[in-house]
């Protein structure tokens, strides 16, 4: 019998070890894949694949970045002097514009003469910048090709424009998305953490046992509500209320996302904090009261320092819920990829961008890799928040002598 018991214990120990190893390996592989795909964007060109840019032979410009190209095609840059070239008017041309310059007969059946027509057009216009598919490259023309800067880490983090489908050169500036996520997340935590901690203190230390038995399951039940339901609530209640209170044209703002995320984070913060507060040894609280401390002094000086690690875990869970939430935020924040200057403006967050665009991005393309890079950025933000909370808890415990 003892031998069977030992064999069973060894088998259970082996299964637990194997389970832990498999879980750890799966997590490591997930993050390795995430960063491999995300970092791949920094070796890519912003110009869509199989598209080249050509200019007239007299044009001295050899290299352009995506922002300058976009401004040329949008009409914001109208002279080559602004891009380091000669004093010549910029003439943007895209392959689909060829019918503006040549008749159907000149282009030939099934655009057979399209390469020659593109070559003639480039040779005849000193200010042209032509974008066309490599399959229609002219055999001979007097112009030259323009190189484009690769997507760099600095331009990715500091770029102010997120235009992943712009033609001929996309722009992957994650700064508006990063700031939108931080604005919404920080505001949500500033709302949820004090309210959640106050509710946890009430349930744990003040409420009668009968009230506690009712409130605790109700709070935990809120955590099981799907995020899309919260999104509908935000869209029908929070957004109109914000629009009416602040007299805004639209209520889909960063503040709406913050309020909704705060509501969604409250159940986790309250539940975990309440469990941490109730884990304080009864002897410590009784000793504090016996020394003449009031109930509030005991809570502030004894209970909170003792349970600070559990409260930190609640804060981490709340931050994780706020940073990573997708659907509800997607529904109430307006999804404007612009740098926000206040919470009363529409914003777009990192998770909402990934969810909204990943289905449209070609697998393995630059757009897809840029979205993976946003996922890497999201992971690093969450990790930073977690490390910061742990650091503050350690300092708090050392200051309290625990």
Per-residue pLDDT of 356-396, as tens digits, reads 888 888 888 889 999 999 999 988 888 887 787 777 667 76
Identify the pLDDT of residue 369: 92
Strand partners, 162: 172
Identify the pLDDT of residue 396: 63
Identify the pLDDT of residue 243: 93
Identify the pLDDT of residue 401: 60
| 400 has pLDDT over 60 | no
Sign of the torsion angle spanned by Cα atoms 117, 119, 123, 125: positive
Mean pLDDT of all residues in 246-262 = 91
Q: Which of 56, 39, 126 is nearest to 88 (CA)?
A: 126
Cα 227 to chain centroid, rounded: 17
Hunting for tokens 């159940």 — which residue is that? 267
In what helix (H) or strand (E) does residue 94 lie, and over which residues does it extend?
strand 91-94
In what helix (H) or strand (E) does residue 52 lie, and over which residues does it extend?
strand 51-55
Q: Are 274 and 309 in contact (CB under 8 A)?
A: no
| 129 has pLDDT over 90 | yes
Identify the pLDDT of residue 397: 65
pLDDT, tens only, 69-115: 989 998 899 999 998 888 999 999 988 899 999 988 888 888 888 98
Q: Is 169 helix (H, G, I), strand (E, B) or coil?
A: strand
- Joined tokens for residue 351: 């998770």
* Distance between CA atoms of residues 28 and 7, nearest Å: 31
Hunting for tokens 């997340």 — which residue is that? 185
pLDDT, tens only, 5-63: 888 888 888 888 888 899 899 989 988 998 999 999 988 888 887 889 999 988 999 99
* Distance between CA atoms of residues 296 and 306, nearest Å: 15
């Amino acid at each position: 019998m003892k031998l069977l018991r030992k064999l069973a214990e060894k088998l259970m120990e082996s299964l637990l070890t194997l389970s832990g190893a498999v879980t750890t390996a799966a997590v490591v592989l997930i993050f390795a894949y995430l960063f491999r795909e995300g970092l791949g964007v920094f070796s890519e060109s912003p110009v869509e694949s199989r598209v080249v840019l050509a200019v007239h032979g007299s044009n001295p410009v050899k290299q352009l970045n995506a922002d300058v190209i976009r401004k040329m095609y949008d009409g914001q840059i109208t002279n080559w002097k602004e891009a380091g070239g000669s004093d010549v008017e910029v003439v943007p041309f895209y392959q689909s514009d060829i019918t503006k310059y040549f008749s159907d007969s000149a282009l030939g059946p099934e655009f057979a003469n399209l390469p020659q027509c593109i070559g003639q057009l480039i040779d005849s216009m000193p200010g042209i910048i032509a974008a066309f598919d490599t399959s229609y490259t002219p055999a001979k023309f007097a112009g030259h090709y323009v190189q484009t800067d690769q997507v760099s880490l600095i331009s990715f983090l500091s770029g102010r424009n997120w235009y992943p489908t712009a033609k001929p050169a996309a722009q992957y500036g994650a700064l508006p998305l990063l700031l939108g996520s931080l604005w919404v997340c920080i505001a949500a935590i500033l709302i949820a953490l004090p309210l959640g901690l106050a509710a946890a203190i009430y349930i744990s230390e003040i409420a009668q046992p009968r009230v506690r038995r009712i409130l605790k399951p109700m709070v935990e039940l809120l955590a099981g509500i799907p995020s899309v339901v919260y999104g509908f609530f935000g869209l029908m209640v929070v957004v109109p209320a914000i629009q009416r209170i602040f007299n805004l044209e639209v209520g889909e703002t960063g503040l709406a996302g913050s309020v909704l995320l705060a509501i969604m984070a409250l159940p986790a913060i309250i539940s975990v904090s309440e469990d941490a507060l109730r884990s304080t040894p009864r002897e410590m609280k009784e000793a504090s009261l016996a020394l003449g401390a009031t109930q509030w002094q005991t809570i502030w000086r004894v209970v909170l320092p003792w349970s600070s690690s559990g409260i930190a875990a609640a804060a981490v869970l709340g931050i994780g819920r706020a940073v990573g939430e997708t659907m509800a935020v997607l529904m109430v924040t307006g999804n404007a990829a612009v740098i926000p200057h206040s919470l009363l403006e529409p914003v777009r967050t990192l998770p909402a961008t990934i969810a909204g665009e990943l289905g449209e991005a070609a697998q393995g393309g630059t757009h897809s890799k840029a979205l993976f890079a946003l996922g890497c950025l999201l992971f690093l933000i969450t990790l930073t928040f977690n490390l910061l909370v742990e650091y503050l808890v350690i300092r708090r415990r050392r200051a309290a002598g625990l």
